[in-house]
A = this chain, B = another copy of it.
Amino acid sequence: MEYTKEELLSARKLIEDKINHTPILQSETLNALTESKIYFKCENLQKAGAFKYRGATHAVRKMKMKSELRSVATHSSGNHGRALAMAARKNGMSCLIVVPDNAPTIKIDGMKKEGAELFFCEPTIEARLEKLKEVLNQREATVIPPYDHRDIILGQSTCAQEIIEEIDDLDAIICPVGGGGLLSGTALAADLLASKVLVYAAEPEQADDAFRSMKTGKIEPVGNPQTIADGLRTSLGELTFPIIRDKVEEIVTVSESEIKSAMRLVLQELKLVIEASAAVSLAAIIKRPELFKDKKIAVVLSGGNVDIDKLSEYL
């Protein structure tokens, strides 16, 4: 089913007073380095520490309008779980999350802090789905998946909506791609609200499933990717892929060391803590100057949930 401009705008209206309208920052040093004009959209300063809170809040509020049920469930090792738990709590719902037992402590603590009930399982996608099924056999809850869900995609589109509204004569938006929720929402917003704005994505070479999917025209599985960008280890979804295939200009892949360099630049020059997944876009701009030189580009710094004690391992 096609998405409409009205649908995007009403998603924004439904959540705009529930989320942070995050700031957009610039750095003269990074502009000089890249010979472009970059607008950094700080979703690391979003509630729950990542853009994921937009989609989760939208999905929870839509569900609240449609159903009497006051319980949501998902499986997650990270930001989606925490965002959904926080959105559920703020909307008076309970939240059940299946968590792989190798999830980072900081992310587990984040979900617990928001009052979610956790169910641990082996760290495979099969075990996660199996465990979720088991939980849903015993407990009634609406499943809200991390990205492949219309209300999630619409919620994530609100980030690009804010960007488009605030920056005149923008040439392009670039964001990371994992499962494609943020990217498909961004592409929809650009297409329906600012048709001259091109949308690019960046992903780790070590998890280049979206790049390969664009080449082959079908969803390529991601395998078992070894990348520090832990938010980008997922494959594209049935709903996100067609949007990306049709509306995204190009997916740029970057190496692990390029991700680390970009993360360091953001820490040093922008004074922002971001997670590795959020650094891929700047890495892509540095890697492919021919695409971005002299352009006005918005970069979505997607999240900031990194364990400070382990920060040096990323640099």
Contact = CB atoms under 8 A, between A and B. Distances in A.
Contact of A308 (B28, B49, B308, B315): B315
B45 A308 contact: no
A46 to B, nearest CB: 9
Contact of A45 (B44, B47, B271, B315): B271
B267 A308 contact: yes
A49 B271 contact: yes
Per assembly, the copies of the chain total 2
Contact residues of A: prevailing secondary structure: helix
A272 interface: yes
A304 B271 contact: yes
Contact of A23 (B23, B113, B270, B304): B23
Nearest to A47: B28
Nearest to A29: B113
A47 B31 CA distance: 14
26 contacts: A23-B23, A25-B45, A28-B47, A29-B113, A44-B271, A45-B270, A45-B271, A49-B271, A264-B308, A267-B273, A267-B308, A267-B311, A268-B273, A268-B308, A271-B272, A271-B273, A271-B274, A271-B304, A272-B272, A272-B273, A273-B273, A308-B315, A309-B315, A311-B311, A311-B312, A312-B312
